[in-house]
Structure 1
Amino acid sequence: MKEMTTPEPVPGAIAEDRSGLFGHPRGLSTLFFTELWERFSYYGMRAILVLYMTAPVDKGGLGFGIPEATSLYGTYTMFVYLTNLPGGLIADKILGARLAVLFGGIIIACGHFSMVFPSLPFFYLGLTLIAIGTGLLKPNISSMVGSLYSEDDPRRESGFSIFYFGINLGAVLAPLVCGFLAESQMFKNFLAARGFDPATSWHWGFGAAGVGMTLGLVVFLLQRQRLAHVGNLTRKRKDSPDFVPDKPLTPAEWKRVGAIFVFFLFTILFWAAYEQKGASLNIFTRDLVRRDVGGWVYPASWMQSLTAFFVLLLAPLFALLWVRMGKRQPSSPAKFTFGLIFISLGYFLMVPAAWLTGQGKISPLWLVGLYFLEVIGEMFLSPVGLSTVTKLAPAKLLGIMMGVWFLAAALGNKLAGFLGGFFKTDQVNWLQGLLKTDNSSTRVMLYGGIAVSLLISAGILALLTPKIKKLMGKVH
């Protein structure tokens, strides 16, 4: 779900550049570090977003209720994906990819730095700017990576793998840094000792995200000559070899479009469950998980690094698995089914975990297990889904169909925020002598409901697989 636009190949002379990282074009390392720092800024801020909104006002937070906070989280992450559509169009028609990436990065940095100020208007301004800037940067930096290679360059897949590694490396590091600054008592004590209000620690975390994006812009500008040949605004002419004439879709093409929309519906459900980690599971970690190690309590947001870490661990193994299996590997509908099954298993694991919270805080290993199973599901669904859409979509509708794929992620994120609003933490009733309100049964129903819904969805998709294969035609 990372890339959106279809990159155009470049002339062979450019594709022969082997002076960069591991024999790749020099521009790859520039884009690698730019995207690493952009993802650092995004995942760093996102890791503390719901925690900041639900923290009490006297602790520097906004004092929002859980439903209000998770709903806003869902709306924000939805628009991060929705803005990819106009962002790609603006690059194609007006700016070119390179300028779109530059302007997008500047807008993102301004958004993060807006959130440094402890003011609600600046908070909303920051979220808006980050969503707009991500729409300009995210799809177009991916297209620039593809433009470094000719279509038949054997290094192309390897180049995207290196780029994908940078994305997830940034996602691993970000919660560790931003979470430490925002949540840790050690940093709060550091601020207090130097005359700063420790309740402002959240805004230091937001500022660190802005510094990350600024570092990405510095890399992009200092090494801009490496990218002089890619990301320029181009106009497709009717005599261009990749010009697609406006012809009606054939019946076979309409069937493949129908298959895409079936995948679209199940993808929404997958991301609605997956993105709980930034919503309800973030609060679950803060309030209901034992986080002390040798007397030191690590930040709840640090758990957000686990999924990206598991992606780094499992992505090469799955890539090797598909290569080894060759034509014997499961069909795309079967892989989607496996993806839904594994994330369902993760949430079934959360049912006893949620029940045990009624007796006190639980081990973080429950969440480690959930996130590991989630990422296995992601390996079956996310890269496979992106590849399947590019194979199924008619050439004239490729951009629109890729937009549909990202629309599924957007709606899934919004649904994640809605579902997160049903989460209830345990509260202390001070009027009745520290009596705790036990909401463990509510949490069991929430995560059990997600698990059962995913499993039923997997069963429905398995039953539909023969019909979906017919719609897909010769596409596997």
Structure 2
Amino acid sequence: MENRMSTQIQDRPPTPGSGSSADDRAFLGHPKGLSTLFFVELWERFSYYGMRAILLYFLIDTAAKGGLGIDETTGTAVVAIYGASVYLLSIIGGFTADRVFGARRSTLYGAVVIMAGHVCLAIPAAGTAWLGIALVALGTGLLKPNVSAMVGTLYRPEDARRDGGFSIFYMSINIGSFFSPLVVGWLRDHYGYHAGFSAAAVGMAIAIAWFILGRRNLGPAVDDVPNPLSPQERGRVAGLAVGAVVAFAVVVLLAGLWRDTVLDQVIDAISIVAVLTPIAYFTMMFRSPKVEREEKSHLAAYLPLWIGAMLFWMIFEQAAGKMALFAEKNTVTQVAGVSINPEWFQSVNPLAIVVLAPVFGWIWTRRAGRFPSTPAKMALGVGLIGMSALAMAWAFASYSGNTAPVYVLGGIFVLQTVAELCLSPVGLSATTRLAPKAFASQAMALWFLGTAAGQALAAQLIKAMDGLPNSQYYVVNGVITLVVTGVLFALVPWIRRRMATAELHSTGATSATGATDREPVRS
């Protein structure tokens, strides 16, 4: 599933004087505004994961059954590149909040665009379906970085409830992402795809209504524009935006030199952007005169961790792709007389997070200062996701025709959740510790771009291995990832030395949510 442990985390420091009074304990001992953001996020995640749970099935099913009828390989690549697009567009969401609209209006506009996308998907027409997919990606990019930021504005800097507030907030994501595949999968099974997309639209409409009605609980800080564009900058930004659109269109056209269809050209164009953008970020940071020599050493230590995380998300985000195919075509459809909808497997990950996150929080606290260190935890996470890929290769090779017991795919989802708990929260911690001071915010964007690049790479591997068994696809993924895992473990001492010097500059480094690598958090 989505990188819910690390997305949506751009917790900007509160504006001086912002934050609720310590006497405001209307929602579980926390500010009333937390209830507004809690339920907005719950319903937004319900709509997002509901749509995502049935997207691949909708793309590859026949037109007679309400689908778009595209081939399986292209459909799986589209799901991957859709995920990459969401993370790429979240950069725009952060920019609009910081420089144009503020967090509240960026969130509201994004929510409206998302709902419009779900409405388009609910209309039984191919043209509106593609428009809907694009709108959901754009709207999620606008909304995604900003809801967590507004949680941060509810608390004064000295408020001890702050970390607890984020923990409560992140539970809303697990609740929404757990129930939506169950509900939408049932609707799809009984009434068709467009009923499922309609449920996602209803969920988003509830989120918008809740957000508007709860506006008065959020305080004035959510409308702040921290670094507003000057009139001169507005013209330059508009020109750059137009230039970016034109450049992307050119890349799409150039992709026609090696691709036969417009859809394949768009997949390649987004893949190119998703890979080149983080390369540009790293190059900018390494070459910037604002980055000191020692900071460049820290950045060099961060690079292999980032590559490992990129490969992690390449495999992990196939929950709605290759793993969804296994759920539909290879897993039994009934257990003890109960019909099993393939979408239901996508609820395993959020359920496992709720159960396992406290366990891992306790383990990391007990092991603080000892093995595994932050880079070792990340290497372990990459290794475990590589093992899950080999497990999927075995599963595809061993079962066909809806014969796999439910515990096969369910167990692999749990294994991936364990890997996620090892990598995602500590990856945030490593990012904040090793980032150059002049590029702290950009470094967080760089972390999110690892997910975009990973899914873009997955899309390209899916297309390149068209015609080969899914088991071979996962063998390639697993071998690549386990080789990188070996390299990461070999580099752990070198990375730890550089992290130690980084901490001399900033002791007690935390993730953007305020949680250290000892505290797995879900987002």
Measured against the shorter chain, the TM-score band is: 0.7 to 0.9
C-alpha displacement of 1:369: 1.1
Between 1:172-181 and 1:329-338, the stretch displaced more is 329-338
Q: Distance in 2 between matches of 1:400 and 1:418?
A: 26
Equivalent of residue 461 in structure 1, options 477, 483, 488:
488
1:22-61 pair list within 5 angstroms = 22-61=28-67
Superposed CA offset, 1:158-183 (max 9, x none): 1111111111111101101111111x
Structure 2 counterpart of 1:171, from 151, 154, 177: 177
Aligned to 1:224: 215
- Mapping of 1:83-162 within 5 angstroms? 83-162=89-168
Deviation at 1:15, TM superposition (A): 4.8
Percent identity between matched residues is: 36
Partner of 2:415: 373
SS in 1 for 2:455: helix
Write the distance in 2 (CA, Å) between the matches of 1:161 and 1:149: 14
CA contact (8 A) 2:19 2:154 kept: no
Q: Take 1:178 and 1:207, find their aligned partners in 2: how far apart are those partners?
A: 9
User: Is the Cα contact below 8 Å between 2:18 and 2:154 reproduced in 1?
Assistant: no
Q: 1:90 to 1:293 in 2, by over 3 A?
A: same
2:187 aligned residue (176, 181, 194): 181
1:7 corresponds in structure 2 to 12
C-alpha distance in structure 1 between counterparts of 2:464 and 2:412, whole Å: 19
The amino acid across from 2:363 in the alignment is L
- Separation (CA, whole Å) in 1 of partners of 2:406 and 2:165: 35
- Where in structure 2 are the equivalents of 1:268-307 lying within 5 Å? 268-307=310-349
Number of the residue aligned with 1:203: 194
Q: Separation in 1 of the partners of 2:23 and 2:298?
A: 37
Q: Is the 8 A contact 1:339 1:377 kept in 2?
A: yes
Greater mean deviation of Cα atoms: 465-474 or 369-378: 465-474
Q: Is the 8 A contact 2:19 2:153 kept in 1?
A: no
Would the aligned equivalents of 1:279 and 1:416 in 2 still touch at CA under 8 Å?
no
One-letter amino acid of the counterpart of residue 82, structure 1:
L
- Structure 1 spans left out of the alignment, 5+ residues: 189-200, 238-245, 426-438
Aligned equivalents of 2:310, 2:393: Cα separation in 1: 22
1:470 paired to 2:461? no
CA–CA distance in structure 2, aligned partners of residues 342 and 157 of structure 1: 28
Aligned residue pairs, count: 438
* Distance in 1 separating the partners of 2:383 and 2:226: 45
C-alpha root-mean-square deviation of aligned residues, in Å? 2.2
More divergent stretch after superposition (395-404 vs 288-297): 288-297
Q: Which amino acid aligns with 1:74?
A: A
> Post-superposition shift, 1:271?
0.4
Q: State which of 307, 312, 316 in structure 1 corresponds to 2:354.
A: 312
Query: Which residue identity lines up with residue 324 of structure 1 in the other structure?
Result: R
Looking at structure 2, the residues matched to 209 and 215 of structure 1 have their Cα atoms a distance apart, in angstroms, of: 10
> Which moves more between the two structures, 21-30 or 82-91?
21-30
- What TM-score do you get using the length of structure 1 for normalisation? 0.87
SS at match of 2:501: coil
Q: Does the CA-based 8 Å contact 1:20-1:26 persist in structure 2? A: yes
The structural deviation recorded for 1:460 is 0.9
Cα 1:59–1:149 shift into 2, 3 Å: same
Tell whether the 8 Å contact from 2:50 to 2:184 is kept in structure 1 after alignment. yes
**1:341 and 1:458 in contact (8 A); partners too:** yes
- CA distance in 1 between partners of 2:227 and 2:106 (Å): 19
Q: 1:251 to 1:159 in 2, by over 3 A?
A: same
Partners of 2:158 and 2:363 lie apart in 1 by: 23
* Deviations, residues 321-372 of structure 1 (Å, cap 9, x unaligned): 2223332352221011110122222233233322222586211211111011
Asked if the contact 1:279/1:420 (under 8 Å) is kept, the reply is no
Map 1:313-352; keep pairs closer than 5 Å: 313-328=355-370, 330-352=372-394
Structure 2: which amino acid aligns with 1:92? D
AA paired with 2:113? Answer: I
Looking at structure 1, the residues matched to 10 and 406 of structure 2 have their Cα atoms a distance apart, in angstroms, of: 38
Closer/same/farther in 2, CA of residues 161 and 420 from structure 1, 3 Å limit: farther
User: How far apart are residue 115 of structure 1 and its match?
Assistant: 0.5
Instruction: State the alpha-carbon separation in 2 of the partners of residues 149 and 278 from structure 1.
Output: 36
Measure, in 2, the Cα distance between the counterparts of 1:130 and 1:414. 18
Asked if the contact 1:346–1:374 (Cα under 8 Å) also holds between the matched residues in 2, the reply is yes
Amino acid at match of 1:62: L
Aligned counterpart in structure 1 of residue 80 of structure 2, from 74, 85, 89:
74
**Range moving further from structure 2, 272-281 or 291-300:** 291-300
- 1:446 is matched with 473
Question: Residues 206 and 166 of structure 1: is their aligned pair in 2 closer, same or farther, counting only changes over 3 Å?
Answer: same
Kindly state the Cα deviation for residue 411 of structure 1 after the two structures are TM-superposed: 1.2
Q: Is the Cα contact below 8 Å between 2:332 and 2:340 reproduced in 1? A: no
Tell me, in whole angstroms, the C-alpha distance in 2 between the residues paired with 1:110 and 1:207: 11
More deviation, 343-352/267-276: 343-352
State the secondary structure of the residue aligned to 2:77.
helix
Decide whether the 8 Å contact of 1:279 with 1:417 is kept in 2: no
Q: Residue type matched to 2:472 in 1?
A: M
Q: Residues 417 and 175 from structure 1, CA distance in 2 versus in 1: closer, same or farther, beyond 3 angstroms?
A: farther
Contact 1:87–1:135 (CA<8 Å) still a contact in 2? yes
- Report the alpha carbon displacement of residue 119 of structure 1 after superposing the two structures with TM: 1.3
Q: Residue by residue, what CA displacement relative to the aligned partner does 1:111-131 show, whole Å, maximum 9, x if unpaired?
A: 111111111211111111111
Deviation sequence 1:228-260 (CA, Å, 0-9, x none): 2331224469xxxxxxxx982221211222223
AA aligned to 1:42 is: Y
